[in-house]
Structure 1
Amino acid sequence: MQIALFELQSQANAEICSANNVHTNINNTKACQVCTPNATNTVWSHCQCVLADGVERGILTINRMIPGPSIQVCENDKVVIDVENHMEGMEVTIHWHGIWQRGSQYYDGVPFVTQCPIQQGNTFRYQWTGNAGTHFYHSHTGLQKLDGIYGSIVVRQPPSRDPNSHLYDFDLTTHIMLISDWLHEDAAERYPGRLAVNTGQDPESCLINGKGQFRDPNTGFMTNTPLEIFTITPGRRYRFRMINAFASVCPAQVTIEGHTMTVIATDGEPVQPVNVNTIISFSGERYDFVINADQPVGAYWIQLRGLGECGIRRVQQLGILRYARGPYQPQSAPPTYDVGLPQGVVMNPLDAQCNRDRNDAICVSQLKNAQEIDRGILAEKPDVKIFLPFRFFVYRPEELFQPNTYNRFLVAPTGDHVISLIDEISYLSAPAPLLSQYDDINPDQFCNGDNRPANCGANCMCTHKIDIPLNAVVEVILIDEVQQPNLSHPFHLHGYSYSVIGIGRSPDTNVKKINLKHALDLDRRGLLHREYNLPPSKDTLAVPNNGYIVLRFRANNPGFWLFHCHFLFHIVIGMNLILQVGTQADLPPVPPGFPTCGDHTPPIPIN
């Protein structure tokens, strides 16, 4: 299948871009003035207008759409996307989140890892064959994702290959639920951040498929923009595909009035079905669930609530689940943030505390894989074991603002100036892509926990890279040394899905804060919880606050793969690293005419 092209543009407020380009537009501009709303709101999808939540601001769009055009293909389809960059003074790459890029490593879309950024006025052609499941795409450059550059990907497979296909009657293109957080200003206004006015990086609003309404907390005024409506027919069963495209640190909670959600997949990987009433997800996660249209014909509320830091602003959004031939609006009053829909059984509770005696929650670690698992993954000892503690480094102002120094930092909501560290290293991009220009990079650019530059201090900055033998079984233990209440970091691995072997907190009640030393001791004593009975596969998973996760995968996809926290503002301050699987000899050849980049420092002629 060929997707003609994506055009990226900048726009003033909420509008859409023309024929598959990336542009900049603005909400409620002239394009919106030619649109006439009606009861079904269908006309809005046929005009060049992006409404978002009705608050005017500058945005970035793909083909004048937020979200960008949905990519709907079949397993084994060849997908070709031309990305044209028309954003004034900006560069961009597009990452295809959840697509493994086996044999197409050069199209993973990570700047200075798999490609050079696409400059303004240039076109880059991505080509890949997708693995089945619910995925999405987004800019992997700067903060552009938060300003509107994202969209859904669905790679469908024959029912005979889906172990849960008997549970639903329809898998419609209209039943994608892409949830996102939304600022009322450019994301760059929050980076590095402010000390006095509108501090922190939490969003003012959130959207469902780019739609929503906003109530001004100061005036009480509410915009009258349309809500997203999902239509179902009585007596039928429908597969919904929920994608969390949040960029901030807020978890997202979705509840559908009067309906049970049967979870059948996560991050594109099938699981044995479980029934829940509420799903909590983090940035980058996807959950597929089945809705049975077995309730009285009518319209029902869908409530999306931002948790954690989003609770301060009471960030929420509503959508509608509507039965065909029924009313367009629910008869019940709209749920509020504080008086919301009943939560019932919660998928992925924030406390990550689940056991057999608890009947109000199901943790990710309790999900069971619906497919066979590589037996090597379940061996007692992996080939490679990697401990990765992560935390923030807090600058003292006098060391950050020394003359002729320009270190990155983020102004946290507390006012602290911080960078991110994984294994005491803050990731710094190389000057050229490792995948295609490895020999052009100074070897001193690279580092890891066992190979730190001699001049590295407490805030060591370099290109954090860990080498992994091809086909090794790798175990990664992530340890949250941030230990900030209400903050759990989701980590995403490019190029793979991994088995979730363990999630937990320290069983030692005398230890109030976990760290690397304590995690190593727990592992030595066999007290890091591991579960080998059909562990689920994912590519994005949150580390519990003051806890740990244990992941395993077989390193059978050679390449340079980014592994990072999926919170956008944490990415830009260094919470990333690269896993190099195999050697250069294991990679496919660099595509002909592949763009190059790097320093230009010619000798100075002496006359």
Structure 2
Amino acid sequence: MFRSILLLALQVAATSASTVVYNWNIEWATAAPDGFHRPVISVNGQWPCPAIEVNIGSRVILNVVNRLQNETTAVHFHGLFQTGSSQMDGPARVAQCPISPGSSFTYNFTINQPGTYWYHAHIGAQYIDGFRGPIIRVLTVEDWYHEQAPLLLEYYQSPLNEDLHGGAEPVPNATLINGAQNIQFPITPGRTYLFRIINIGSFAAQFVQFEEHDMTIVEMDGVYTKPYKVSQLFLTAAQRYTVLVKAKPTNSRNFAIVVSMPLGMFAPSVIPSKLNNNATAYLVYDNAKSLPEPFMMTYQDSAPDDLVFAPYDPQPLLDPVTVPITFTISFGPNNQNQNRAYFNNISFTPQKVPTLYTALSAPPDIVNDPKIYGPNSNPYVLPYGAIVQLTVINTDSGPHPFHLHSHDFQVLARSPPGVDGTTLVIPSSFPGGAPMRRDTILIYGGGAAILRFKVDNPGISLFHCHIEWHVEAGLTATFIEAPTQLQQLGLVIPRNHKETCYKLGIPMSGNAAGNTDDWTDLRGANTEPPLQNWGALVMRPRKRQLARRHF
């Protein structure tokens, strides 16, 4: 079994056979994982943030206190379906109000899925500042920035960036492994090790390769797969893999693990002059022997092709399709000359009332009307039991990793880069007899993909690009799943969830504009983002500061 030498200390107050309680103070600390000292968001002063460790069937009670003083926060548990607990999913202004400074907030849900998952802040690009961690001990890979998120986000979404750099995304400064560099994993000859690998980064994809050791993939994004041997992995932001690695029979030498961030996604004009896009860890067979020099990685064209994998429990093709949806991705300036992202010419903007609270408070005869959720939430009301087919056409030149909350999805087809997505067809058969499933899929620049899922989890499910800059630029759609059945669940909104809404003056009932008298009257609903978007920052700076490192 895979053994990590990292001290991922559990912040556990009490543990029983069925319940694990965590008490977290979310607070600032200082770290220098690549030698550059900067503020980071920590848990109880610990960074990298600790793992949440639970077993199948366990209930997690996570008591959060926001001690950041200058920022709100919210926690999303990536990949967990939150069946029957949509109020615990975490996206701010969608499933909850932001957690204001000084406020307490309780997440309470049951883990009923095997696999590899993680948590991260889901507000204002905040997890760029380090508020992210695994759910179970793993090997994490991530991009790392030297500037703080509010500064980068405000400039990224500014008209000045649109004018000078065409709206280019900020580029990371470094790559990390387990929040550090030069990590060592002790290895015993002859054993087989299980590595759970997560890209917890906010922008960049990562290639992963173990020197002279193959990896056998057995799980991806919570879906166990038929064993498939590879020599190199490719992970977009938010993707996860579990692999088996067979140790060498002797301890004659040690070996390197190299993680490499490809540069093709970055605008050349804003790449930092001292970007370190590689990180190294080590398989240490013998502490007395020297560590090897990192090898030069050659990216394999086949590494990103996850359609070759077959689920271990083959799910038949979901059919017939009852709700077809086509999304066309585009980018361009809005009326304020901010570079925004669009699904079908709509750029997502959070509404005055969190979408879940609109669904819970709406009269039964109007809860299925998508208009009440506000046009700029990009809402789609999906009836219970529907088979949804998403055709996602990427007109942008860059690739995008798309993630669906509350589900995994079948990937039926995906075109290569630059191939007209309108000609994409579903094949007559799939490797292993069933479509590949996962919850985060890369769609190539100029390409397309066809995905399917079943509406069987009443709640609010976001579908969005997992490049954090594009989330903030509006590349998000909102699925209101089975709202009639959602109301019948009788979800309980905890008292401290309500208190942080009251503290911030956010209404918990009404349509997107907060109107409870006339649910069709959306005057006052949010249609444009703020001209100066400082993310989770509470107190805005008096004047704009420039992100010197990147622009």
TM-score by length of 2: 0.78
Deviation of residue 85 (structure 1)? 0.5
Correspondence for 1:481 among 375, 395, 404:
395
Partner Cα distance (2:288, 2:429) in 1: 47
Deviation of residue 207 (structure 1)? 0.8
For 1:305-324, list aligned pairs within 5 A. Answer: 305-307=260-262, 308-309=264-265, 313=275, 315-323=277-285
How many residues align structurally?
467
2:383: which partner in 1?
Answer: 469
SS of residue paired to 2:87? helix
Deviation of residue 558 (structure 1)? 0.7
Deviation of residue 186 (structure 1)? 0.8
For 1:417-456, list aligned pairs within 5 A. Answer: 418-438=339-359
Partner AA of 1:400 in structure 2 = Q
Partner AA of 2:420 in structure 1 = I
Partner AA of 2:395 in structure 1 = E
Partner Cα distance (2:116, 2:290) in 1: 29
State, as a whole percentage, how many aligned pairs show the same letter.
25
CA shift in 2, pair 1:235/1:22, >3 Å: same
Partner AA of 2:248 in structure 1 = D
Deviation of residue 438 (structure 1)? 3.5
1:204: which partner in 2?
Answer: 173
For 1:31-70, list aligned pairs within 5 A. Answer: 51-70=32-51
Instruction: Say which structure, 1 or 2, has more relative contact order (CA 8 Å, 6+ apart).
Output: 2
Which moves more between the two structures, 496-505 or 275-284? Answer: 496-505
Correspondence for 2:128 among 134, 139, 146:
146
Partner AA of 1:369 in structure 2 = P
TM-score by length of 1: 0.71
Correspondence for 2:308 among 334, 346, 366:
366
- The CA RMSD over aligned residues, in Å, is 3.2
Q: Structure 1, unaligned stretches of length 5 or more? A: 6-17, 28-50, 155-172, 213-226, 349-362, 402-408, 410-417, 454-459, 507-511, 603-607
1:394: which partner in 2?
Answer: 333
Partner Cα distance (2:328, 2:428) in 1: 18
Correspondence for 1:291 among 214, 220, 245:
245
CA shift in 2, pair 1:437/1:329, >3 Å: farther
Bigger radius of gyration among the two: 1
Partner Cα distance (1:530, 1:492) in 2: 25
Q: Structure 2, unaligned stretches of length 5 or more? A: 1-9, 14-21, 508-513, 516-551
Deviations 1:374-405 (A, max 9, x none): x4x443x312211111110235xxx526xxxx
2:404: which partner in 1?
Answer: 493
1:503: which partner in 2?
Answer: 414
8 Å Cα contact 2:461/2:480 also seen in 1? yes
CA shift in 2, pair 1:549/1:234, >3 Å: same
CA shift in 2, pair 1:344/1:547, >3 Å: closer
8 Å Cα contact 1:66/1:151 also seen in 2? no
Which moves more between the two structures, 582-591 or 280-289? Answer: 582-591
CA shift in 2, pair 1:342/1:269, >3 Å: same
1:158: which partner in 2?
Answer: none
Deviations 1:93-145 (A, max 9, x none): 10000111011111000112111111111111111112111000000011210
Partner Cα distance (2:372, 2:25) in 1: 42
Deviation of residue 584 (structure 1)? 3.8
1:586: which partner in 2?
Answer: 486
Deviations 1:67-97 (A, max 9, x none): 3110121111111111110011211110000
Which moves more between the two structures, 302-311 or 561-570? Answer: 302-311
2:510: which partner in 1?
Answer: none
CA shift in 2, pair 1:84/1:452, >3 Å: closer
For 1:367-386, list aligned pairs within 5 A. Answer: 367-373=309-315, 375=316, 377-379=317-319, 381-386=320-325
2:228: which partner in 1?
Answer: 274
1:48: which partner in 2?
Answer: none
Deviation of residue 440 (structure 1)? 6.4
SS of residue paired to 2:377? strand
Deviation of residue 190 (structure 1)? 2.0
1:571: which partner in 2?
Answer: 471
1:180 and 2:157 are equivalent in the alignment: no
Partner AA of 1:116 in structure 2 = C
